[in-house]
A and B are shown apart, each in its own frame.
Chain A
Amino acid sequence: MSDRVRFTGGRAGRSNLAWGQRSIYEAIRRTDHDSAHYFNLWRLMAMPRGRGPYSVEDVTSAVVALVARHDSLRSRITPGDGTPVQTVSETGWLERRVQPSTEEEAEKAAEGLVLDLAARAFDLEHEWPVRIGMITVGDAVRRVGVVLCHTAADGYAADIVVRDLRQLLLRGSMTRPPSQQLLDLVAEQESGIGRNRSERALAHWESGYREIPPVMFPDLVAEPGSPRWSKAILESRALEHAVSIVAARHHMSTATVLLTAVSAMVGTITAHDTCAITPIVHNRFRPETRDLVTSLSQLGLFTLAPDPDATLHEILENTQPEAMRAYRHAQYDQLAWEDMVERVSAERGVAVEPSCCFNDMRPVDHSNLPDSPPGEDAIRTSVTSSRIEWLPGVDHFTCDFCFFVTRQSGILTIGLNADTCRLPQSRIVGLLRSVEELVVESAFRDVRPGELGVAP
């Protein structure tokens, strides 16, 4: 059964889009409508154990309270006159789908339902950015799925949304308001403090953009694969343990180790003096962003000068300051950024767009070191059980090289979605394997990225 739920509560307001929202909005606008659902996020909520049962009405009340709690979830975007504007509503409607199931089938049914709800792009102008799915067994709700539009939430915000929904279901209300609201974030970004922050970030970008290769993979070396953009993942327990060992040795995050390792391997298969890679930065550093629901992530710029004689450990020793600058300077006015890119491109006489990104999609707090990582033999042996899997790709995409880090079945997983005309499938696999090998070897000995071959 599909119907609409009326929500009411919370304030109303109008504003420009926040910087991160604008970058997603532009990305969606450039994507054809059939692929725009790519920008949806979804989560299945863990039902509170040993409580309930909860009826459809109970869950619906919690959803209404959730939407009242966050500006972002009540916001719609109108294109305006070239400048999109968002309107936060006091009241509105959400899509709700309730689907009966059996106890045995509930889990599978929930996954199917949430994927189905996520398979359609949001109508940004007319639809609020939340859809809810519920799987019922008898009168009780067994599973709840939430689908969000990426203009309203990034991955971190999606986790806040399901956490709050669960709290509201358990307790009926939340006494503490969110640390910050979308409309207040926009006001902060448009204030002097925000403008200064943006200008400093853009200064970092501009000095980088004057030096970096205009594009990291300029050469079309192969016929397009099928699909042209192919996406492979490598699930690796060995990498999980090894990256923790290397990160601990250098007092840095596992994300920075992986960002550096990927950049170093890219350095071995390209002929550039500088490798440029743009990590997607969560921007959740300030305490007030703790439970802010919006799309706050933006691209940062990380550069690395490949040194064939340096070991990964030596590279890591030098890389931390640059990584910190990349993370720090990832909050900026998206339009001013586009102006900067256009200006620098015009001056250099070439479009500067490295088209090489890095996205760590794991939850923000992932610094926990395993209590006692297994020994060298066990880690090396487990390399043999890490495996490549191909995921569905697409024939049109906007980035040549998207490296990502995630967790699958509880195991660290690295993946690469790349243009097969520039990186054939064998090279995609070779690159994933070489990053694994570089990090695993570096956990136990000194190794130079150039020592490792990457399949052509």
Chain B
Amino acid sequence: MQDPLDTMDNLIDETLPGRLAVMVAAATDDQISAADVLAAEHSLAALGVTSLSLIRLVDAIEDEFGVDVDPGLVDDFPNLVADVAGRLR
């Protein structure tokens, strides 16, 4: 039987970036695709995520995961994923 903690880690590792990318897309009213966000070649602002959308994203993360991320530091998607993952552990 798998260690439940491992399963939890896998779940976060496998799905968190995907879920967050979908949330970023939703925060922009799908003007930016989750695929572009996941590619992480650019900062979110460079992709066209406005400050209004970034705050909306922080609110959505709070509602969904119950964690509060610093709105000043969410612009870099890999960092955002790492930050949320860290707070969920």
Contact = CB atoms under 8 A, between A and B. Distances in A.
A176 interface: no
Given A200-B68, A285-B59, A286-B59, A324 B54 contact: yes
Contact of A367 (B50, B59, B74): B50
A273 B40 CA distance: 37
Given A285-B56, A285-B59, A253 B72 contact: no
B51 A321 contact: no
Contacts of B50: 253, 367
A321 B71 CA distance: 7
Contact of A364 (B52, B54, B73, B75): B52
Interface centre among B52, B54, B68, B74 (most CB of A within 10 A): B52
Contacts of A327: 51, 55, 71
A325 interface: yes
Contacts of A251: 43, 45-46, 48
Mostly, the A contact residues are helix
A80 interface: no
B70 interface: yes
B45 A325 contact: no
B26 to A, nearest CB: 9
Interface in B33-64: 43, 45-46, 48, 50-52, 54-56, 58-59
A252 B45 contact: yes
Contacts of B75: 320-321
Contact of A328 (B43, B46, B48, B58): B58
A284 to B, nearest CB: 8
A284 B72 CA distance: 18
Given A200-B68, A320-B72, A322-B72, A328 B45 contact: no
A324 B72 contact: yes
A325 B52 contact: no
A323 interface: yes
B51 A253 contact: yes
A392 interface: no
Contacts of A256: 51
A287 interface: yes
A324 B51 contact: yes
Given A251-B43, A320-B72, A328 B55 contact: yes
Contact of A253 (B46, B52, B74): B52
Contacts of B74: 324
Contacts of A325: 70-72
B79 to A, nearest CB: 12
A234 B71 CA distance: 32
Contacts of B43: 251
A76 to B, nearest CB: 31
Nearest to A250: B45
Contact of B51 (A200, A252, A287): A252
A286 B71 contact: no
Contacts of B48: 251
B57 to A, nearest CB: 9
Contacts of A324: 51, 54-55, 71-72, 74
Given A253-B50, A325-B72, A367-B50, A320 B45 contact: yes
A321 B56 contact: no
Interface string B3-20: 000000000000000000
A321 B70 CA distance: 9
Given A251-B46, A252-B45, A323 B51 contact: yes
Contacts of B68: 200
Interface string A367-380: 10000000000000
A321 B59 contact: no
A261 to B, nearest CB: 16
Contacts of A286: 56, 59
Nearest to B57: A285
A285 B46 contact: no
A303 B70 CA distance: 16
B89 to A, nearest CB: 20
Contacts of B59: 285-286
A325 B46 CA distance: 19
A287 B75 CA distance: 20
Interface string A247-258: 000111100100
Contacts of A285: 52, 55-56, 59
Interface of A: 200, 250-253, 256, 284-287, 320-325, 327-328, 364, 367
28 contacts: A200-B68, A250-B45, A251-B48, A253-B50, A253-B51, A253-B52, A285-B56, A285-B59, A286-B56, A287-B56, A320-B45, A320-B72, A320-B75, A321-B70, A321-B72, A321-B73, A321-B75, A322-B72, A324-B51, A324-B55, A324-B71, A324-B74, A325-B71, A327-B55, A328-B55, A364-B52, A367-B50, A367-B52
